[in-house]
Amino acid sequence: MRHRKDTVKLSRTRSHRAALVSNMVTSLFKYERIKTTITKAMVIRRDAEHMISIAQKGTLAARRQVATVVKDQTVLRKLFDVIVPRMKDKKSGFISIVKLWPRHGDAALLAQMELFGAPAKVKPEEAEKKAKAAPKKKAEKKEEAPKAKKEKPEKKAASAKATADKAEKKEAKKAE
């Protein structure tokens, strides 16, 4: 029976797990948007949302309670002064998790965690680079880059097509 076994252990000892949660929650508040595995994301969401709920009280006691997990003073200040005011009309759903794709290396499904009301662009610098790169690019780079761009999507599309084709064939077989 697996009754009441709600703890995800993440293959870590209790103290290791607590340290991981502390670090990850701090990172989430610091960067507002973090990429991790889906399993860790689900574990960290619980603690992070709990911290925001406590922080919404805004009292000194609340601050000390949150400080046991968020050990970075600057991040703690940011949580109380920047993040919480943004969420004053919310009682839950402070964090959204979007599933991404399997990681190269161990095929663990990645996910992105994002605080409610986080700055819109993923990485402003990269967006700017993209915008600049498109019209201005040097002639040499221009020739090289688009080729590489084209090749990859084609390959991926081909494999996607292959799987789609297989699916169709199977369905056809079933129909027969």
Partner 1 sequence: MPVPKRKHSNSRTGKRRANWKLTAPNLVKCSHCHQSRMPHRACPYCGYYGGREIVSIKEV
In the complex, the residues that contact partner 1 under the rule CB under 8 A are: 35, 98-101, 112, 121-123, 126-127, 130, 145, 148-149, 152-153, 156-157, 160-161, 163-164, 166-167, 170
What the block records as the tokens of 155 is: 């390959």
Taking the least distance from each CB to partner 1, the nearer of 9 and 161 is: 161
Residue type, 95: I
DSSP string of 56-118?
TT--HHHHHHHHTT---HHHHHHIIIIIHHHTTT-SS--EEEEEEEEPTTT-PEEEEEEETT-
Residue type, 169: K
Angle formed by the axes of helices 38-55 and 60-67, nearest 10°: 160
In whole angstroms, how close is the CB of 100 to partner 1 at the nearest point?
5
In whole angstroms, how close is the CB of 91 to partner 1 at the nearest point?
22
In whole angstroms, how close is the CB of 164 to partner 1 at the nearest point?
6
**What is the signed CA dihedral for 67, 73, 78, 84, rounded to 10 degrees?**
10
Place of tokens 């703690």: 76
In whole angstroms, how close is the CB of 2 to partner 1 at the nearest point?
25
Taking the least distance from each CB to partner 1, the nearer of 130 and 132 is: 130
In whole angstroms, how close is the CB of 6 to partner 1 at the nearest point?
23
CA 153 to chain centre: 24
Residue type, 72: D
